[in-house]
């Protein structure tokens, strides 16, 4: 494989920056900060976990509703970068804003988190769609995997700095409270994310698009309707999306709820943060490995491997009751978390019409985000009804099994009509 181009590298570097949000805000520091605020307000552990799950469900539902139509509009010439910039700005602004929310106001924390998450996940819709603009089909597996790998590596730097500040504050080595240490982590995340988005804005351009026409919004709804009308022409695409709907639900729920789940098991914040840091380090080479093995054994075969690993993860989590168990679970997740997401993205990018990439990645988003509603609600409701999160995590096994069965029925990729690249 020839050297990565400037466009491919600039695209992948956004993952390097944005992944700091994923680990610090979505997975590690913010959940602990929120759980502490909720506990100080007298909210029970199981209830605060459930409220976090409901919040995730709310913002994913909002984005799932608007994703396809925004994606369809973004297929017009010059629009993809504008939508990306809007959601990127929203995410960075509210991520920084978390640092200024009173530490005892758990409800306002969840509101700010909702807008930050809308920005991050919304920007990722258009970021993913840019994969079709920066490389060709033969290179997509490797380029997509490189993005996730860089994301894992890049996120460890601000995460390590954040952990250091929090631990120094915890042991009173620096004159900063634990609350303010977490706030510093939020600011670091926003700066890191914004800094490494610059190459994306500078070097990545929309190569495939539809020429602008009168009444673009009305025409976008019309094109969206035609896509549904011609669904039989896109059988491979929608069969894959149906499989993706189920298995990515389990992946996303484990990512979003892992820290809250560990807290409910009584694990201390230091153990959780260190385990999550090591997970990021281990996940980086495995994401690249998935990309390489996909070239040898095929994307679907490696997706099967990732799903089987997650079935093992959910089963093991049911019996987890110690810090050692959490470490084993974290390492299992690290082997497949990046790979299954990277290959899902590249597989989808290869089977869609490039000039309609935003529209179809809008569907990719809506299937992924609607799926992300089920898992958190399932875990939240089960935790409240049983008093234990273990049953909710174990129930995710059925989603992976259903996704696996449907994926086996997805037809092999066929050449789809696509426009010639046009520089915007």
pLDDT tens profile 215-242: 766 766 676 676 666 556 778 888 898 8
Query: By the 8 A CB rule, do 108 and 402 touch?
Result: no
Measured CA to CA in angstroms, residue 319 lies from 267, 314, 329, 400 at distances of 15, 9, 11, 18
Q: Domain 6-408 classified CATH 3.40.930.10?
A: no
What are the DSSP calls for 155-194, one per residue?
HHHHHHHHHHHHHHHHTTSSS--HHHHHHHHHHHHHHHHH
Comparison of pLDDT for 341 and 377, the residue scoring more: 341
What is the domain partition of the chain in residue ranges? 6-408
Query: By the 8 A CB rule, do 25 and 189 touch?
Result: yes
Mean pLDDT of 29-49: 84
Tens of pLDDT, residues 353-363:
777 776 677 67
Average pLDDT, the chain: 83
**Alpha helix stretches (DSSP H) within 21-105:** 29-40, 45-74, 79-97
**pTM to 2 decimal places:** 0.76
Tens of pLDDT, residues 151-171:
888 888 999 999 899 989 988
Binned at pLDDT 50, 70 and 90, residue 190 comes out as very high
Binned at pLDDT 50, 70 and 90, residue 61 comes out as confident
Query: By the 8 A CB rule, do 75 and 355 touch?
Result: yes
């Amino acid at each position: 494989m020839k050297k990565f181009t400037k466009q491919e590298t600039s695209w992948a570097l956004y993952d390097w920056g944005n992944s700091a949000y994923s680990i610090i805000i979505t997975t590690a520091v913010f959940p602990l900060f929120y759980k502490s605020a909720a506990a100080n307000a007298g909210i029970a552990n199981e209830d605060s976990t459930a409220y976090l799950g409901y919040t995730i469900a709310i913002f994913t539902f909002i984005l799932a509703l608007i994703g396809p139509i925004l994606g369809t509009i973004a297929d017009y010439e010059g629009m993809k970068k504008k939508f990306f910039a809007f959601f990127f700005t929203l995410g960075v602004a509210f991520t920084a804003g978390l640092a200024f929310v009173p530490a005892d106001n758990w409800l306002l924390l969840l509101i700010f988190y909702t807008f930050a998450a809308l920005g991050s996940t919304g920007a990722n819709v258009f970021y993913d769609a840019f994969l079709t603009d920066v490389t060709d089909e033969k290179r997509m597996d490797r380029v997509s995997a490189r993005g996730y790998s860089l994301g894992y590596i890049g996120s460890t730097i601000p995460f390590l700095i954040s952990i250091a500040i929090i631990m120094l504050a915890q042991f009173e080595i620096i004159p900063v409270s634990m609350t303010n240490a977490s706030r510093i982590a939020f600011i670091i995340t926003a700066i890191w994310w914004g800094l490494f988005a610059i190459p994306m804005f500078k070097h990545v351009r929309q190569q495939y698009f539809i020429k602008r026409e009168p009444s673009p919004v009305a025409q976008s709804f019309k094109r969206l309707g035609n896509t549904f009308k011609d669904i039989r022409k896109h059988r491979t695409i929608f069969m894959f999306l149906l499989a993706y709907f189920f298995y990515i639900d389990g992946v996303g729920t484990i990512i979003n709820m892992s820290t809250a789940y560990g807290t409910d098991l009584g694990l201390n914040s230091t153990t959780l943060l260190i385990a999550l840091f090591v997970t990021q380090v281990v996940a980086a080479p495995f994401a690249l490995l998935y990309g390489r093995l996909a070239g040898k054994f095929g994307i679907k075969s490696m997706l099967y491997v990732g799903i089987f690993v997650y079935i093992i993860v959910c089963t093991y989590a049911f019996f987890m009751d110690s810090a050692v168990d959490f470490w084993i679970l974290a390492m299992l997740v690290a082997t497949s978390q990046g790979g299954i997401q990277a290959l899902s993205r590249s597989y989808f990018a290869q089977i869609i019409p490039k000039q309609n990439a935003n529209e179809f990645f809008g569907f990719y988003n809506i299937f992924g985000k609607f799926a992300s509603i089920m898992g958190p609600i399932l875990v939240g409701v089960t935790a409240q009804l049983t008093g234990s999160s273990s049953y909710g995590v174990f129930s995710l096994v059925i989603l992976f099994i259903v996704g696996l069965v449907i994926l086996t029925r997805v037809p092999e990729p066929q050449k789809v009509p696509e426009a010639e690249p046009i520089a915007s």
